[in-house]
Amino acid sequence: MFEVLVFVYENYWRGDACPELEQLGRKLSAAGFNVEDIQQALSWLDELNLASHKTELIDISQSAREHHTESAHSMRVYSVAEQDHLGAACLGFINFLESADVLSPHMREIVMDRAMAIPGHPMDLDDLKIIVLMVYWSIGLEPDALVLDELCDDADRVAH
């Protein structure tokens, strides 16, 4: 499935440039991906779109209120299931991105949601990097060059 996601990212630079899922499915089939991988990826992308849309609504509603900022002392506590599923390397990478201020709390929660939707554990760090990249993609943000380099350090997977 991750090869399909990489193909989508490389061919549709922004989520809003991506065709509807049915048309995308036909294009992925024509590109030679197997049906099971396409179905998994389309379902995953649909859920990503829903999660991204919810985040946009949260951001809009928070902007309408007085400026609400997270306390500098707040901390995300990961459940045992999340710890088991992601493993130390992936959780450490998420923490690294947050501490570098390149992954907002809302984006982190989308990453967590989409990572938890992937079967098997512990999750491979390269797969998590694709998920982070797809979260950026889905909300129409291009990570800065250093973040993009960190996310795409496996030359065989993403060519940006």
Q: What own/partner pairs with CB < 8 Å and gap ≥ 24 does 35-44 have?
A: 37/1, 37/3, 37/4, 38/4, 40/1, 40/4, 41/1, 41/4, 41/5, 41/8, 44/1, 44/5, 44/114, 44/117, 44/118
Does residue 40 form part of some domain? yes
Question: How many separate domains does the chain show?
Answer: 1
Domain that holds residue 78: 2-67+74-151
Does residue 102 form part of some domain? yes
* R_g of the chain computed on alpha carbons: 16
Does residue 82 form part of some domain? yes
Does residue 156 form part of some domain? no
Does residue 89 form part of some domain? yes
Tell me the pLDDT of the chain (160 aa) as tens digits: 999 999 999 898 777 778 899 999 999 999 999 999 999 999 999 999 898 876 554 554 444 444 445 555 678 999 999 999 999 999 999 999 999 999 999 999 999 999 999 988 789 999 999 999 999 988 888 888 888 888 886 544 444 4
Does residue 158 form part of some domain? no
Does residue 160 form part of some domain? no
Does residue 140 form part of some domain? yes
Instruction: Classify residue 6 by burial, with Cβ atoms within 10 Å: 0-12, 13-18, 19+.
Output: buried
